Amino acid sequence: MDKRLLATVDIGSHSCILLIAAFEPAESTTALRHPREGEDPLAVAQVSADENTSTAETEGVEPRKVLVPKLQKVEICRLGEDIYDSGRISEEKIQDLCRIMTKFRMDLHALGVELKAAAMTEAMRRAENQEEVLDAVEKALWMRPRIISGEEEAALTYRSVKEWHGEGIVTIDIGGGSTEISNGATGFSIPVGALKMFKAMGPIPGPEYKKFVKETFKEVSFKGMTKKPVYLIGGTGTALAMVFKNLSQFDYKAIEGLEMSLADLEAVTTRISNLSKELRAMLPGLENGRSDVIICGLFWLRSLLEKLRVETFRISTAGLRFGLLYEN
């Protein structure tokens, strides 16, 4: 077994993600601060890394280490569909989930990698049959996942991005059933996600969306989070970046730190919205059911960015699965 490799499993409302990663010196991976407007993220990463290495050598300590992904596998589970329909996760969905977990376990066994943590989020926070699902997943994965709160999810997600891009940022994690926002000092979860919106409004939100947003934001405070550099995490952000850059396959190095403007977001949203369901599903990053929920996710992202009062944002491929390893 390669003891440098560690793994986590993130079981969300829309998808499940297996991460295999290793801690490596920061100079080979990432920046210690977020790029300022107009700066090249890769150039900033190199400068920050050089400074980090120099300081470490001067003080006689090891360079700071951060997580570097080695393998990431995504499987669509759509657990949230059952929650919004019946409040429970159905037997069929549980069986599908167990098949995914069994595949993940077998992958880890074949590679000789230790599973350090597994977590479940919004769908399980709301499920009436939590213990039934946990028991089934434990048998398939050989580890009992823990159900984490929205606030904990926000904190762990922020930590994962902060380690790559530094302090002074705000993170938005748009999932299938909820959205987590954090500035490091405070964080919260809004029970709105791309899959939940799709179930309520269909693939393209209509006139009802304006009322929906107004009602949603009634009791949400963005105090201390406005006009700061924003990093978008989650499947919505990854799919958005892949379509924007016309990437044929996921490449975290090509996406990480990518800067986009509100105009860019609007252009991609319009492009996707004008396609038929069949053509949307052929776009990179929109396979396996993502094409159904992506437009809802982009509408929601635009509303959040307006509340945060920013004109640009960056994409990050980090997330809860990384935060779980920093926690461990």
pLDDT greater than 80 at residue 137: yes
Q: What phi, psi does 89 have (nearest 5°)?
A: -90, 125
Percent of the chain with pLDDT over 90: 77
pTM confidence score: 0.87
Per-residue three-class SS string for the chain: CCCCEEEEEEECCCEEEEEEEEEEEHHHCCCCCCCCCCCCHHHHHHHHHHHHHHHHHHHCCCCCEEEEEEEEEEEECCCHHHHHHHCCCCHHHHHHHHHHHHHHHHHHHHHCCEEEEEEECHHHHHCCCHHHHHHHHHHHHCCCCEECCHHHHHHHHHHHHHHHHCCCCEEEEECCCCEEEECCCCEEEECCCHHHHHHHHCCCCCCHHHHHHHHHHHHCCCCCCCCCCEEEECHHHHHHHHHHHCCCCCCHHHHCCCEEEHHHHHHHHHHHHCCCHHHHCCCCCCCCCHHHHHHHHHHHHHHHHHHHCCCEEEECCCCHHHHHHHHC
CA 203 vs. chain centroid, Å, equals 20
Return the SS3 of 256.
coil
* Residue range 231-236: mean pLDDT, rounded: 94
Output the six-digit token pair for 254. Answer: 């090509």
Domain boundaries, given as residue ranges, for the chain: 150-327
CA gyration radius for the chain?
A: 19
CB 298 within 8 A of CB 236: yes
Q: What is the CATH number assigned to the segment(s) 150-327?
A: 3.30.420.150
Angle (nearest 5°) at CA 234 between 231 and 43: 40
Alpha-carbon distances of 208 from 52, 54, 193, 201, rounded to whole Å: 50, 56, 16, 8
* Residue range 198-221: mean pLDDT, rounded: 94
pLDDT greater than 80 at residue 38: no
pLDDT greater than 90 at residue 36: no
pLDDT tens figures, 161-179: 999 999 999 999 999 999 9
Which amino acid would we find at residue 220?
Answer: V
In this structure, the strands spanning 146-147 and 114-120 are parallel
pLDDT tens figures, 258-304: 999 999 999 999 999 999 999 999 998 887 678 999 999 999 999 99
Q: How confident is the model at residue 53 (pLDDT cuts 50, 70, 90)?
A: very low
Q: What span, in angstroms and rounded, lies between the C-alpha atoms of 107 and 73? A: 10
What sign has the CA pseudo-torsion 123, 124, 129, 132? positive
CB 179 within 8 A of CB 300: yes
The four Cα atoms 95, 318, 160, 193 give a dihedral, to 10 degrees, of: -60
